[in-house]
Structure 1
Amino acid sequence: MSTLTFLGAVGEVTGSRYLLDVDGNDRSHKLLLECGLHQGGPDADQANATPFGGLARSLDAVVISHGHLDHAGLLPKLVREGYSGPIHCTNDTRDLMEIMLVDAAFVMAKDIEWQNRWRKKAGKPLIEPLYELADVERTLALCRTHAYGQPATLPGDVTLIYRDAGHILGSAIVELNVPSGGRQRRLVFSGDLGNPGSVLMKDPERIQDADLVLMESTYGDRDHRPLEDTIDEFARVLEEAHAAGGNVLIPAFAVGRTQEILYHLSVLHHEGRLKQRLVFLDSPMAIRVTELYNKKRKSLNRDDIKTLNVVAQGDPSQYLPGLRLTRSVEESMAINRIHGGAIIIAGAGMCNGGRILHHFRYNLAKASTRVIIVGFQAAGTLGRQLVDGAERVKVFGEELAVKARIHTIGGFSAHAGQRDLVAWAGAFRNAPRIYLVHGEPGAQQRLQETLAESGIEAGIPGYGERVTL
């Protein structure tokens, strides 16, 4: 019998990883579904640094649902430790990973350089990065890309089909038809399901047939506000910030959230509801991703693709007057001379690194500042501390008072809310086995209860748990 082992995103949102042992006719095969980075503090760092051991050299193939680092961010480490087989993904995911993994390697190198400088002075052993740019290049060379709905044959007579998950560019629901016990069994992994309220992405595809389902549960305990209410709340916070004379800081994920936020800011401007005259996109990676979204606009929701066009063509005045794309460190530093009236969109989305931290140093202690959280904040991250109401936080080792007002606007999330998750699970016929992954324990338990109220049973797996197909 073929088996599936849960190796990540169990009891947490990040670190996606599942091992599929396929009972083939000639020999068994090992397929890895996802290879994601853990995010959220020292425990996550330790998990990321743990060697793959013999797994890297024993795998026959890797399958990736989409390009976010918590799903694909450890691929270069896997390759560094000896993996040399195919990495399957969608066409657009491969292009996104080229941007994101290169950026991750660059940021990692800078962080390690800074840490080793301190360690050398303290007489402590030096540390190495999880991977380097050369590992990223080898990883990208192993990618085998597929269009949505295009069947592909994997080792062990496994058939792979990708469906549109509507989460970010290239995101996919993974269907794997796997031989097990003399029959074909269908394993469906939701990946990250998109928010149907998204203006740029299509709605996630509904699937009817499966034997085993892995479903994300990030927002399993709540629904998002309707988009119209979300936009009104966003506009109100921006207006309050303008009246208070402060800056607005938006820690935004480079892929998906940034592009949606830019779209909504442009709409507010054209409706006469945006008072701020300066908007900074202070993230080289987010700028590159926005340019990629423009190139790939046929993959997006066709009603809204026109809104991204001018950003990539270098004429933001037609798109969002006042928008400044700051690529260099010097341009980013210059923003901190602006004491009010600006909107600053910067990474990282969970505030666990990136340029947003520098803007926190200059703005977080001001009562006139508004911080708008637009995406999920994993436990252990600085973003989660702010959402939870921390009065003081550490930024670059310096303790800062949090006098800024923190606003969480969940309607901009790229994830499906509880109601959407229940509807997606309810589309399956013949009651497949469902396991909830990619969620914190409270969210998973609440979703499990809500699914049960609709007559749908779902299990919550533990780390290392193995199930048969």
Structure 2
Amino acid sequence: MSKVEQKLDEIEATIRNEVPAGISISDVTYEGPELVIYTRDPKQFAQDGDLVRRLASKLRKRITVRPDPDVLSRPDDAREQIMDVVPEEAGVTDLDFHADTGEVVIEAEKPGLVIGRHGSTMREITQEVGWTPEVVRTPPIESSTVQNVRNFLKQERDERRDILERIGRQIHREEMSDDEWVRVTTLGCCREVGRAAFIVSTPETRVLIDCGDKPGAEGEVPYLQVPEALGSGASSLDAVVLTHAHLDHSALIPLLFKYGYDGPIYCTEPTRDLMGLLTLDYLDVAAKEGRAPPYESEMVREAIKHCIPIEYGDVTDISPDIKLTLHNAGHILGSSIAHFHIGDGLYNVAFSGDIHYEDTRLFNGAVNEFPRVETLILESTYGGRNDYQTDQEDSERKLTEVINDTYEKGGKVLIPAFAVGRSQEIMLVLEEAMRNGDIPEMPVHLDGMIWEATAIHTTYPEYLRDDLRDRIFHEDKNPFLSDQFNHIDGGEDERQEVADGDQCIILSTSGMVTGGPIMSWLEHLGPESDSKLVFVGYQAQGTLGRRIQNGWNEIPVGNGGGRGRNTMKMHMDVETVDGFSGHADRQGLENFVKTMNPRPEKVLCVHGDESSAQDLSSALYHEYNMRTFAPKNLETFRFV
């Protein structure tokens, strides 16, 4: 008998001693980080609302209780009983029964009413029918991404369950070493923006944090070939943690599966969906530009299949000696600060990913309170000594002035925008400005993936700012459903029609003008001196967006996604409106560290141009007397 089997037998004995007489325990197993308890008496289990909580506290495990398949009521009978229990105003749109696990997936417009106060309605469902309910939201805006991910995971349930059981045994295996040390190796995004990738190593475990590309620099990928990463084989990685879905953090996650990785990816649920959306588009853009994609779409599906979603604040075992907790980073939907508790109180490391410290219209500001943090790996995109962004109210005022000025001249406003995050932020600003009469009502055309990304945002309102979440829960007040917003889905013909039409606002990907529909819009509107191109997000070095921002007015046109042989002189005005970035500015980064509780002993400043990382590192050292570094790629830091 293996050590894992012995441990499971011990856990099962403990559970039998804890549960009331008359409740049977037929099996106990691991599925990923969770302990799954099977019982022939699910109704009695559900009657004691605190029983699972008490077991979780005693065993220090996340616990799921499932009924034995042979004690389940018929799905047709259960369906009627569930609909009797769930309030009609919950808007149940689908019930999907899975007899192999005893789960029923309930899709509803208002999931909170299916869950009930402290889970009371879910317990009542189990008491009535024996099935274990899992609740998901019906997207207020139909999302092909969310639907495709859900359908795919439904089709792969059996294989996914095998994957989770294997991962669970790896997580809960016996520790093999008595040594104690912690190392972090930088594989990318040091003294540069993009290709984020780090390795956290202990004697037991090797974890990869992020694996992205570098905007505007084809072929520059993280140093995955080194021994600390994949040099000794992809199977040497125990886990991957994805802080958020932007391509400079996620683009090469599927590549790991091409190299033979077969382990878990830990992220939030919206990050999983957005990663699927963005990486598939990444492959599509590469094909359109005539570049060989680094992996096939099948690898994206493999990545999604191996994702283990965890919610903010949930402490999760990911190996015998590491616990992971994700916290809101305030950057984009589902973005996370990844906190690692290593060993039995040995050491704590936090990776900021990309953060925004202050509240925005979309998100609550980044969390910076942790039980313990000895070392912080901190982004420094706007860490330069002069990188102070405009106050958000001033930024919104300037944007409305630019729009009004362009409208009066009869022109159009073209805004290159990241599909995820900045587009939705700008949409909220425009919706309110039109509603309040600050700018004239006019069409707002959304091109590229912006509409689909917006649909994903409305699927997960619990990840949005508190007041916005409350508005979306009431569909009649959902700002993303405003009549002004038009999804460009008619391709080049519709773009030509818009270009020939009246004043309007156009939000289009890509945000750094590196390809995609923005190139077509520049070709249509570039010659118009009455129209304006407005940058509202960061433009990385080497991108066409940065060149235009710096005064370059010769843009590539024709086929090839911006790599055509012809150029066109651009006459439209160019404006930059700061303050809408999803990144904290210099003051925000300093405030994040200043108010961090507890304050870390060491800070590694990464994900910024060389001067930005060094400026921030120097400032934190002088102001807070802490050890700071602006590492280069391929440096390793030992912390214990």
Matched, 1:416 2:581: no
**2:350 equivalent in structure 1:** 188
**1:45 equivalent in structure 2:** 219
SS of corresponding position for 2:466: coil
- Once the two structures are TM-superposed, the CA of residue 447 in structure 1 deviates from its matched residue by 1.8
- Once the two structures are TM-superposed, the CA of residue 333 in structure 1 deviates from its matched residue by 3.3
Contact 1:165 1:194 in 2 (8 A): yes
Contact 1:6 1:465 in 2 (8 A): yes
Contact 1:169 1:256 in 2 (8 A): yes
Aligned-partner Cα distance in 2 for 1:339–1:401: 22
The 3 A distance-change label for structure 1 pair 297 and 99 is same
**1:432 equivalent in structure 2:** 601
Residues 155-195 of structure 1, C-alpha deviations (whole Å, 9 max, x = no match): 2411111111111111111101223xx96110111111125
Matched letter for residue 155 of structure 1: S
User: What pairs up with 1:303-452 in 2 under 5 angstroms?
Assistant: 303-305=467-469, 319-330=481-492, 332-335=494-497, 337-338=499-500, 340-395=502-557, 396=562, 397=564, 398-426=566-594, 427-429=596-598, 431-452=600-621
Contact 2:242 2:267 in 1 (8 A): yes
Aligned-partner Cα distance in 2 for 1:47–1:467: 21
The 3 A distance-change label for structure 1 pair 430 and 366 is closer
**2:189 equivalent in structure 1:** 9
User: What pairs up with 1:48-447 in 2 under 5 angstroms?
Assistant: 53-112=231-290, 128-179=292-343, 184-208=346-370, 209-221=372-384, 222-275=387-440, 277-283=442-448, 285-305=449-469, 319-330=481-492, 332-335=494-497, 337-338=499-500, 340-395=502-557, 396=562, 397=564, 398-426=566-594, 427-429=596-598, 431-447=600-616
Structure 2: unaligned runs, 5 residues or longer: 1-180
SS of corresponding position for 2:298: helix
Contact 1:217 1:438 in 2 (8 A): yes
**1:122 equivalent in structure 2:** none
**Range 238-247 or range 452-461, more displaced:** 452-461
Structure 1: unaligned runs, 5 residues or longer: 116-127
Contact 1:109 1:132 in 2 (8 A): no
Which protein, 1 or 2, shows the higher relative CO under an 8 Å CA cutoff with sep ≥ 6?
1
Contact 2:376 2:600 in 1 (8 A): no
SS of corresponding position for 1:274: coil
Q: Percent sequence identity over matched residues?
A: 30
Contact 2:443 2:505 in 1 (8 A): yes
**2:72 equivalent in structure 1:** none
- Once the two structures are TM-superposed, the CA of residue 39 in structure 1 deviates from its matched residue by 1.2
Contact 2:270 2:456 in 1 (8 A): no
Contact 1:39 1:45 in 2 (8 A): no
The 3 A distance-change label for structure 1 pair 278 and 429 is closer
Aligned-partner Cα distance in 2 for 1:435–1:422: 13
- Once the two structures are TM-superposed, the CA of residue 8 in structure 1 deviates from its matched residue by 0.7
The 3 A distance-change label for structure 1 pair 418 and 46 is closer
The 3 A distance-change label for structure 1 pair 50 and 390 is farther
**1:36 equivalent in structure 2:** 212
Residues 57-81 of structure 1, C-alpha deviations (whole Å, 9 max, x = no match): 3211111111111111101111112
- Once the two structures are TM-superposed, the CA of residue 248 in structure 1 deviates from its matched residue by 0.8
The 3 A distance-change label for structure 1 pair 49 and 184 is closer
Matched letter for residue 422 of structure 2: R
Matched letter for residue 32 of structure 1: L
Aligned-partner Cα distance in 2 for 1:20–1:293: 31
**Range 446-455 or range 295-304, more displaced:** 446-455
Contact 1:219 1:415 in 2 (8 A): yes
**Range 393-402 or range 29-38, more displaced:** 393-402
- Once the two structures are TM-superposed, the CA of residue 258 in structure 1 deviates from its matched residue by 0.8
Aligned-partner Cα distance in 1 for 2:401–2:525: 20
Matched letter for residue 604 of structure 2: Y
Aligned-partner Cα distance in 1 for 2:222–2:633: 15
Residues 31-80 of structure 1, C-alpha deviations (whole Å, 9 max, x = no match): 11111122123xx4343798655453321111111111111110111111
Coordinate RMSD, CA, aligned: 2.5
Contact 1:3 1:466 in 2 (8 A): yes
SS of corresponding position for 1:375: coil
Aligned-partner Cα distance in 2 for 1:348–1:153: 37
SS of corresponding position for 1:303: helix
**2:631 equivalent in structure 1:** 461
SS of corresponding position for 2:500: coil
Contact 1:276 1:343 in 2 (8 A): no
Matched letter for residue 634 of structure 2: G
Question: Normalized against structure 1, the TM-score is what?
Answer: 0.88
Matched letter for residue 21 of structure 1: S
Contact 1:200 1:305 in 2 (8 A): no
Question: Normalized against structure 2, the TM-score is what?
Answer: 0.66
Aligned-partner Cα distance in 2 for 1:425–1:241: 40
SS of corresponding position for 1:173: strand
SS of corresponding position for 1:415: coil
Aligned-partner Cα distance in 2 for 1:165–1:255: 14
SS of corresponding position for 1:187: strand
What is the aligned length?
444
